Structure 1
């Protein structure tokens, strides 16, 4: 069975397997409209690390797709996959992986699925939420008090659906999080990293590295590797500065102080400020203000919300504060900007404007 110790990263759990170590058993639950990339990335790591060569036999580990019934489950791309078995006893697995995908299309996870997840949470099996599979784990009540990783794309959806969750437990600046017997993953290619990290608990690392090379993955990402950089902003190469920028985006209406941000990044304030300046040419404070201005200017021209409501959503103390910043940045008031009083204005630290309606379709609130 997998180790039970607390860990910041899965990679810290480095118990190596010998030939007589039992097979690692995975049960995989597919939610309606699951993401095929997240599923295939995970399974291919298991498949390639489980056996020698290209035989793909379930020797070192095994995997089964399980469900409420044997009826096919449709992926978001339209491909359908039928579960191999119904749920049964969750204790027969070492890891139970729940793979999600689209949030607002199709049916929600059924009662039997949530009950199975809840029952699994009471066993020694470790629960893994991939992509929006984390939402199902949350609904089943098995993530209470745990740190939770969600995709940047679904961060505000998570806040909407689970407003009682302490903000400090919701992380959307990194690829995945391991907290006790719960692993949550942002999805996409990160499922490969999660699968590899789990297997390294049980299998010789060189075998897992071989599997990654076959998949053309040059380097396994650690859990604290950053999620993709927000669009339309001055780029940064350093992983911690990328994470800092993601944190700014996710705390738009209630900005983190530099002290709070440095603590989340496990850096000193001086280190953060120096590195941020070197990477972006700006201070963290100036960059965060530029981001607030960017979103506010987009909301003025793409929504009918009042200036006061936009000011609140974008982290200004009030409409007057936002008005002063607009005049300083653009030379016009927010009202004049909304009416087309300026063309092509840009604020410090910004690349050409991204369309937040495309980046976050349907989103009305930024927190």
Structure 2
């Protein structure tokens, strides 16, 4: 994709601060009024019109009774269709199950497939709730550090193989596209992971929630689509919530590759892990079936914003390490070359009044890193970057 035009995009750049601050979601509601938030992975953009229209129509019909889904919700077929159309993956609708949240999907799979004390390999840095889940569930996290190279963040496949073998891992939690580094793994890289999984008989739990937020020429490849062996050992987790800014609808899907695990899941009491809201299904279907035009505009804005973040940081903070994200709306910044004397999250908040995320919640060796959410308007992003560059610029040298 070429550099985005230098024009504002209606619906994405005309966001007033008063409107943003009046929102009840945690991103803008929790910080003090003079703070600009760029922390939690939630976009600032309004809900896509097709989703709002579909929800309004359902409410106007007063149609809020029990849904008649004897064979599962319509999401199962819609998911399989979208995977085939978007990624060429022949996912089976019969293997799809609905849940209320991606983290719940992960927790349920770990509950069914592993036991307390079992080792689980995980890329680091990583999404903090995933790492917290492993601790809370008494699963032994085996970090496999991503390597920061001149060409961007890379997985160390030899280290993955060694860690899995040495620790006796039962599963690998794979995040692709990767949060927080923004890497999109290539087919060759995924093949290396598949070889490790086959060699050590690993269950692969693949978080692909950012799949539709990859920037050309990078393209997401579902891990389960690699081969018959990969399909049989992979559980795929995803949702429309990231690509369409719908976190509050609480709707996600899990595609179960292993027969035994799917049978075990279906043998549980049907409501033990909660049931998905019909309105969440309505919103997801509307996004997948009618939201593509909105998403194309979104990717234009996000592509422009990621390039702007990269350019400002390169020009104003040349010592700071940062790679242009290949996917997501998150930038992962290494402030350690600047020699900060205190955690950068705290300094940027105190001196710049910008709330970012980062540090130890993202795993071992994440001290000194910041995660910046650039899914906001041009004007808000410019102010965020100006404040961050000003505060961190005083530390250079």
Q: TM-score, normalised by structure 2?
A: 0.27
Relative contact order, higher structure (CA 8 A, sep 6+) = 2
Bigger fraction of residues in helix = 2
When the two structures are superposed, what TM-score results if normalisation uses the length of structure 1? 0.28
